[in-house]
Amino acid sequence: MTNTGSAGRQHPRLLELHTAAHALFTTMGTRLGALLALGLFSSQAKIVFAQDGHAVEEATHAATEAAHAAAGHGSLAASLPWYTVVPFVLLLLSIAVLPLVAHHWWEQLRNRAIVSFGLSLPIAIALWGPGRHELLHSMYEYVAFIALLGSLFVVSGGIVLSGDLRATPRINTAFLAVGAILANFIGTTGASMLLIRPFLKTNSERNNIKHLPIFFIFVVSNIGGCLTPLGDPPLFLGYLRGVPFTWTLHLLPEWLVMIGLLLAVFYVWDTVQVKKETAAAMRADVERVNPLELRGKRNLILVLGIIGSVFIPMPWRALAMFAIAVVSYKMTPRHLHLANRFTFFPINEVAILFAGIFVTVVPALVLLEANGEALGVEHPWQFFWLTGLLSSFLDNAPTYLTFTSLGLGVLGLPGGGPDSLLHLVQHPEGVEILKAISLGAVFMGANTYIGNAPNFMVKSICEERRLSMPSFFGYMGWSALILFPLFAIVTLIFLL
């Protein structure tokens, strides 16, 4: 699905809407007013093209808009000093380091808000004059981003899968395979929260299970979710910037190879480990079998509603997702939320931190688009590994945005508009770069506990059940041993 709102700013009706939007922004004088105005303009632009969509006129308008966007980005980049990127770097380093060195202090949402807003406020003030368009567009994307993550989080929190199956390598492998597929429909966070508890319960009678949550994080919490924009946050950001909704299905060959190899390695590993179990443990596993039971089934209908809402233009998309989340929360019995140990803390954390990220990332994106050619990164395999390695230690969503901006700059393509990444999709070299960035961001988020939000959630649930988890660097040892050889195979097959 391609956003076409920016392509028609010269249309008479759109000029009127633009004037009205500007008046609304001036009158309200608040960020909320700006977001509503921008949403009104973008959604109405799509309606105009649905009604009056001559191909030649649309292409002319798109070219005009691209030229204006490129010119605007160039002048903004010239006015931005290099140190405007520092708050973005400091915020990402804070997210990576503070949980390790100041864990108890960082646990308080208030302290996370102090860091996030403290670093983003100077950038917001600096951009309000010369970079107001870029800033408001980034906040517009933030609203759409949080609407999707929040609604999926709330709805999946009302679905409970319980039971205790035989803890065999075949059943465990099937758990992971189902999770990899499910992640593309309810997100890696939703799939992880739905499946990790019954996965652990199924294997509770066994003793040699340290590898289970690690492979679960690899497959379900990260790599499985690369086939749709619903699967992982960076892919949804790509959709918001013009990547067609179904484009990620082009990653199916890489997904099949990576998931197939991972499941094969897991099956062999688990087979070796199950042979080490005592006869008493395996006997208890047989005696305590309970069939899987799915509760909160009404929320599955609401998941379909969220998927359908993705195709609604903003701001109605965000409003629909918010309404679905409210309906789900109100109609879900309290005992189901208690069974899932559901709280709003994780999504509040994401909302606070990403508000700062979406502000502070603007200078980095503008400067990368303007100076990308000078960095010497030009081949898909380079984008894959650099995006992936940074996604391992920073959050993969801003890393994705950073390297797609670099890709636009390397190829000399215009950026800054709501459809900027469509230029990569339509460019013969750009589409390969976009594939590499998408794969790196999603796949290598599994390299560390901090690469993707579900990683730490799964770790916390395991430790809550008194299952020993590797240390930060111990987990990296697992990923280096298992994932890096598989990444090398993907590179050799698809990216050279």
Residue 57 located in a structural domain: no
Here the tokens at position 403 are: 């390297």
Say yes or no to pLDDT of 43 above 60: no
Average per-residue pLDDT for the chain:
79
* Residue 323 maps to a domain: yes
Is residue 87 a contact partner of residue 119, using CB atoms and an 8 Å limit? yes
- 437 and 398 in a common domain: yes
Do 25 and 110 fall into the same domain? Answer: no
Q: Which residues of 139-162 are buried (b: 16+ CB within 10 A; e: fewer)?
A: bbbbbbbbbbbbbbbbbbbbbbbe
Beta strand 290-295 pairing with 160-164? antiparallel
Does any domain span residue 59?
no
Shared-domain flag, residues 12 and 142: no
> Do 234 and 356 fall within a single domain?
yes
243 and 312 assigned to the same domain: yes
* Confidence (pLDDT) at 416: 64
| Radius of gyration of the chain, Cα coordinates, nearest whole angstrom | 23
pLDDT band for 247, please (50, 70, 90 cuts). very high
pLDDT at 74: 53
Give pLDDT tens digits for 371-406.
Answer: 666 677 889 999 999 899 888 876 677 778 888 888
Residues 150 and 253 placed together within one structural domain of the fold: yes
Q: How many CB atoms lie within 10 A of CB 479?
A: 21
- Tokens linked to 122: 């100077």
Q: Are residues 102 and 2 in the same domain?
A: no
| CA distance linking residue 213 with residue 68, whole number of Å | 49
Say yes or no: 29 and 130 in one domain: no
Q: Per-residue pLDDT averaged across 15-32, rounded?
A: 36
For residue 61, is it within any domain? no
Q: Would residue 465 count as lying in a domain?
A: yes
Distant-in-sequence, close-in-space partners of 287: CB < 8 Å, separation ≥ 6: none
Q: What is the pLDDT of residue 483?
A: 96
Query: Which amino acid is located at 5 in the chain?
Result: G
435 neighbors 423 (Cβ within 8 angstroms): no
Helices (H) and strands (E) in the chain, counts: 22, 2
**What pLDDT does residue 78 have?**
66
Position 299 in a domain: yes
Is pLDDT at 11 greater than 70 in this prediction? no
Instruction: Say whether both 116 and 228 belong to one domain.
Output: yes
Residue 394 has a pLDDT of 64
Kindly give, in sequence order, each residue whose CB lies less than 8 Å from that of residue 73, ignoring residues fewer than 6 positions away: 134, 366, 369, 370, 414, 415, 416
Residue 54, in any domain of the structure: no
Is 213 a member of any domain?
A: yes
Report yes or no: 431 and 424 within 8 Å, Cβ to Cβ: yes
Condensed to tens digits (0 to 9), the pLDDT of residues 447-460 reads: 988 777 788 778 87
189 and 323 co-located in one domain: yes
For residues 74 and 23, membership in a common domain is answered with: no
Domain that holds residue 122: 67-496
**Residue 139 and residue 38 share a domain:** no
**Comparison of pLDDT for 130 and 231, the residue scoring more:** 231
Contacts of 214 (CB under 8 A, 6+ apart): 470, 475, 478
Over residues 72-94, the pLDDT tens digits come to: 555 676 667 777 888 888 887 88
Element (H, E) at 359: helix 345-371
